[in-house]
Structure 1
Amino acid sequence: MRLLPQAEEIRTIATSFGYTTAYRFGPPAPEPILLLSGRQASTPMWRANIESLREIGTVWSIDSIGEPGASAQTKAMSSPCDQAAWVDEAIAQLGVERVHLLGVSIGGWLAAQCAIHRRERLASTVLLDPAMTFAPVTWKMVAVSLGSVVPGMPQPIRHRLLSWISGGVAVDDDIPEARLIASGMRDFQQHQPRPTLASADDLMAITTPVLAIIAGASIVHNPDRAAKRARMIPTAQVEIWPGRSHAINGEAPEALTSRIAEFLGSR
């Protein structure tokens, strides 16, 4: 957190399913960007993005309930509707009119569920290589997921699994984001329902403007298959970024900010 820009506001928010912490970077704004982190991660995973995103608008980030971070789950979630509900309740307490929801990986899945079940507070939705949203996960991603549940797994193996996600880039404890996620894999127990693919009817019923960016070198899913299904959303702009891995937000922060600025400008 010390490596991130200074937050202008830090707010503790109570929802029906627990407590979370929200961080505001920039002045109060009626339609800010709201970040949803990936699995086993929290606000610090956006270290490469917050500074540039703040140039195009105020940024809020919330630590997802049910993931490691400055949050505490107090009630069981039984469905995607429950998971979308706590996000909607949190947005209602930020003092904003609507948000541009930006989620990566499982945060992208969560953002998509909000667009399906709780769209009233959404101005738009940006999905960065969302997991389990448009295509099933691959066997490689299943192997990575085992690092979250197998007790006593050596840290070098966890780093190797994270390297798979990041397109083969060497991962170790010198990288704060890797240390953050490896700690979550090692120490945090999740109690959430398994993410499920949205139905074709759900996708076709989305009315919120959507930008879906699929990483061309992602191991999470088949990129072409994911992009094809994403195009079922009538309001979606869908792109495959060749050569980018599932860690796309850290690989191409400036390019992402430029594309998001263009997308938000068209709103």
Structure 2
Amino acid sequence: MTTPKIFFRIVLFTLLASCASSKKAKFEDYVFETKSEKQTYVSAYDKALKLWDIPYTEEIIQTRFGPAHLVISGPKNGKDLVLLHGMDASSTMWFPNIKPLAKNHRIYAIDFLMEPGKSNLTAKPLSKEEIVLWYNEIFTHYKLKKFDIVGASRGGWIATLLATQKPNSIDKIVLLSPAQTFKFIDKMGKTTTALMLKLFPSEKKFEKTLTTFSTHPEKISAVYKKQFYLANKYAKSNSSMLKMTPFSDDELRSITNPVLVLIGDKDVINSDESLERAKKYLPNSKTKKVADAGHFLSIDQAKIVNDAMADFLD
């Protein structure tokens, strides 16, 4: 069994390698090293976003830490719903889920500014407290109150972090295989494929990583896969991983919101232990194990996940 100490050594090694390469940067950008890399990635992002296949608008607002990019969709009179994507995934990842989510909700999908996307960090890497400040600045800008929130993987960890802050304006919460939220990574040996992809990116390693994290990689759109690969190939900085530690019992108990936790039965990030801890410490939670699904459960079993989210949120 991999201990947290060993896990952090692996992550730290990845981080140091990232920092070493970033010293060669020709322009100032937290995520990308060159303008051409960023332009190539943004072009792939734009093509992948069209997979939403519903009307949407893109907006950029200025924040104290840099511009925040949002994709907004759904009826203006619908209940507000914030979407927080997973690591290296960006807001385009919601293409299998956006239609049912946007049916009754006003969607605000936010690109995390320390991830590949269209938000852009202009300050030093953010602390947990600064991450909360950044999101709250966005919520205030759009006057979001009593809104629902869906977070996948790292987005689930961020959603949980936001919910531990008192006061907050969150109503219902959906956590899709939240990373490092209830426990440290479950199957560390298998997830090292993702770390090796970061250090030595190649399409072969990328395909191997997909089969590790997904039970049905064939369901991943080729257009989205290209963008996701470029995110893994070009984006070297992920120092905030070091700050992603599981929440304490008391922190989880403090979250009185209705919470739905969905985890795939083949997930390499979470396990039954995650669900048990959610049941034990989240006072108003529902949990579900999704059959034949990996960490990318929102793609692996989109209909099951969509139905569960719709039932819970509506």
TM over 0.5, yes or no?
yes
For structure 1, the residue ranges without an aligned partner over 5 or more in a row are none
* Structure 2, unaligned runs of 5 or more: 1-48
Alpha carbon RMSD of aligned pairs, Å?
2.1
Change (3 A) 1:147 1:91: farther
Provide the rounded CA distance (Å) in 1 between the counterparts of 2:61 and 2:79: 19
Work out which of the two has the higher radius of gyration on C-alpha atoms and give 1 or 2: 2
SS of alignment partner, residue 59 of structure 2: strand
* Normalised TM-score (structure 2): 0.77
Structure 2 CA distance, aligned partners of 1:10 and 1:56?
Answer: 19
Q: Which residues of 2 match residues 1-267 of structure 1 at below 5 A?
A: 1-29=49-77, 31-117=79-165, 120-137=168-185, 138-140=187-189, 142-151=191-200, 153-167=201-215, 169-170=217-218, 175-193=222-240, 194=242, 195-221=244-270, 223-231=271-279, 232-265=281-314
SS at match of 1:89: helix
CA contact (8 A) 1:12 1:20 kept: yes
Q: After superposition, what is the alpha-carbon deviation per residue over 1:52-77, rounded to whole angstroms, capped at 9, x for unaligned?
A: 21123222211111000111012234
- The 1-side partners of 2:179 and 2:266 are apart by 14
Partner Cα distance (2:133, 2:166) in 1: 7
Does 2-11 or 126-135 show the bigger shift? 2-11
Distance in 2 of aligned mates of 1:31 and 1:97 = 10
Rate the CA distance shift 1:9–1:118 in 2: closer, same or farther, 3 A: farther
Matched letter for residue 263 of structure 1: F
Aligned-pair distance for 1:6?
4.2
Following superposition, the deviation at residue 39 of structure 1 comes to 0.4
SS at match of 2:104: coil
CA distance in 1, matches of 2:53, 2:219: 24
Distance 1:50 1:82, change over 3 A: same
Percent of counterpart pairs with the same letter?
Answer: 24
Question: Whose helix proportion is higher, 1 or 2?
Answer: 2
Opposite residue 269 of structure 2, the aligned amino acid is: V
For the residue of structure 1 that corresponds to 2:105, the secondary structure is coil
Question: Which secondary structure does the structure 2 equivalent of 1:238 belong to?
Answer: strand
Kindly provide the CA deviation profile for residues 170-211 of structure 1, in whole angstroms up to 9, marking residues without a partner as x.
588x62222222111110122542211111111111122211
CA distance, structure 2, for counterparts of residue 119 and residue 101 of structure 1: 16
Q: Partners in 2 of 1:184 and 1:59 — Cα distance?
A: 23
